[in-house]
Structure 1
Amino acid sequence: MFDTSRRRMLQALGIGGVASVAGCAGAPQTESDPPSTGSAPVQTDTGTPAPKQTDVDSVAADPADLPDPVDRDSTATVEVDLEVREVTAEVEPGVTFDYMTFNGTVPGPMVRVRRGDTVELTIRNPEGNGMPHNVDFHAAYGTGGGAEATGVNPGEQNKLKFQARYPGAFIYHCAVPNLDYHISAGMFGMILVEPEDGMPEVDREFYLGQHELYTDKATGEEGHHGFDFQAMAAEEPTYVLLNGEKYAYAAARYGPLEAEVGETVRVFLVDGGPNVTSNFHPIGNVWTKAWPNGAVAGDPDRFAQTMKVAPGSCFVGDMELPVTERIKLVDHALSRVARKGLLAEIDVAGPENEEIYDPDFGGSRHDDPMYS
Structure 2
Amino acid sequence: DLHAVTGPGGGAASSFTAPGHASVFSFKALNPGLFVYHCATAPVGMHVANGMYGLILVEPIGGLPKVDREFYVMQSEFYTKGPYGQAGLQPFSMEKALTEIPDYVVFNGSVGAMAGDNAVQAKVGERVRLFVGNGGPNLVSSFHVIGEIFDTVYVEGGALPAQHQVQTTLIPAGGSTMVEFGLEVPGTYILVDHSIFRAFNKGAVGMIKVSGPEDLVVYSGKQDDHVYLLEGGAIQTIPQAASVQPPAANKAERVERGKIVYTSICMACHQPSGEGIPKAFPPLAKSDYLNADPKRAISTVLHGLQGKVTVNGEVYESIMPQLGLTDEQVANVLTFVYSQWGNNGTEVLPETVKETRASQPPPAAPGGH
TM-score (norm 1): 0.60
The amino acid that maps onto 2:45 is: D
- 2:66 matches 1:201: yes
SS at match of 1:162: coil
Aligned to 1:230: 95
SS in 2 for 1:145: helix
Cα offset for 1:223?
1.4
Separation in 2 of the partners of 1:299 and 1:222? Answer: 43
Contact 2:134 2:141 in 1 (8 A): yes
Residues 48, 135 of structure 2: 8 Å contact kept: yes
SS of match in other structure, 1:230: helix
Q: CA deviation at 1:365?
A: 4.0
Deviations 1:323-370 (A, max 9, x none): 011110100001001111111100110000001101132x54489xxx
Q: 2:113 aligns to what SS in structure 1?
A: coil
How far residue 292 of structure 1 moved from its aligned partner, in angstroms, is 1.1
Selected match of 1:213 from 65, 68, 78: 78
Which of the numbers 125, 139, 150 marks the counterpart of 1:262?
A: 125
Partner of 2:184: 322
2:134 corresponds to 1:277: no
Distance 2:3 2:10 in 1: 6
Separation in 2, partners of 1:155, 1:285: 49
For 1:365 and 1:158, how far apart are their aligned partners in 2? 66
Identify the structure with bigger relative contact order (alpha carbons < 8 Å, sequence gap 6+): 1
1:145 aligned partner: 10
- Checking the alignment, whether the CA contact within 8 Å between 2:155 and 2:161 is kept in structure 1 is no
Match of 2:37 among 154, 161, 172: 172
Count residues with an aligned counterpart: 231
**One-letter identity of the residue aligned with 1:146:** G
> C-alpha separation between the residues in 2 aligned to 1:148 and 1:275?
24
Report the Cα offset of residue 256 of structure 1: 1.5
Q: Provide Cα deviations, 1:153-186, integer angstroms capped at 9, x if missing partner.
A: 3333211100001111111111112111111100
Matches within 5 A, 1:216-365: 216-251=81-116, 254-296=117-159, 298-361=160-223, 363-365=224-226
Q: Between Structure 1 and Structure 2, whose CA radius of gyration is higher? A: 2
Q: Which residue identity is paired with 2:161? A: D
Which residue in the other structure is 2:301 paired with? none
Provide TM-score, normalisation by structure 2. 0.60
Q: Which amino acid aligns with 2:32?
A: P
- Whether contact under 8 Å (2:185, 2:214) holds in the other structure is yes
| Greater strand share, structure number | 1
State the SS of the aligned residue for 1:148. helix
Structure 2 letter corresponding to 1:299: P
The aligned amino acid for 1:311 is A
Question: What letter corresponds to residue 158 of structure 1 in structure 2?
Answer: S
Deviation at 1:224, TM superposition (A): 1.2
Aligned residue number for residue 356 of structure 2: none
Counterpart residue number, 1:14:
none
Q: Give the unaligned 5+ runs of structure 1.
A: 1-135
Percentage of pairs with the same residue:
38
Q: Aligned to 2:55, what secondary structure does the other structure show? A: strand
How far residue 300 of structure 1 moved from its aligned partner, in angstroms, is 3.1
* 1:173-215 Cα shifts (integer Å, max 9, x gaps): 1111211111110011111111112111000000011111011
CA distance in 2, matches of 1:211, 1:154: 28
Which whole-Å CA distance do the structure 1 matches of 2:80 and 2:21 have between them? 29
SS of structure 2 residue aligned to 1:189: strand
Structure (1 or 2) with the greater helix fraction: 2
Deviations 1:16-63 (A, max 9, x none): xxxxxxxxxxxxxxxxxxxxxxxxxxxxxxxxxxxxxxxxxxxxxxxx
Q: Residues 127 and 183 of structure 2 are in contact (CA less than 8 Å); yes or no, is this contact kept in structure 1?
A: yes
Q: Could you say what secondary structure the match of 1:345 adopts?
A: strand
- Quote the Cα distance in structure 2 between the aligned partners of 1:300 and 1:155: 46
SS in 1 for 2:51: coil
Aligned-residue CA RMSD (Å): 1.8
Question: Which runs of at least 4 in structure 1 moved beyond 6 Å after TM superposition?
Answer: none
| Equivalent residue, structure 2, for 1:40 | none
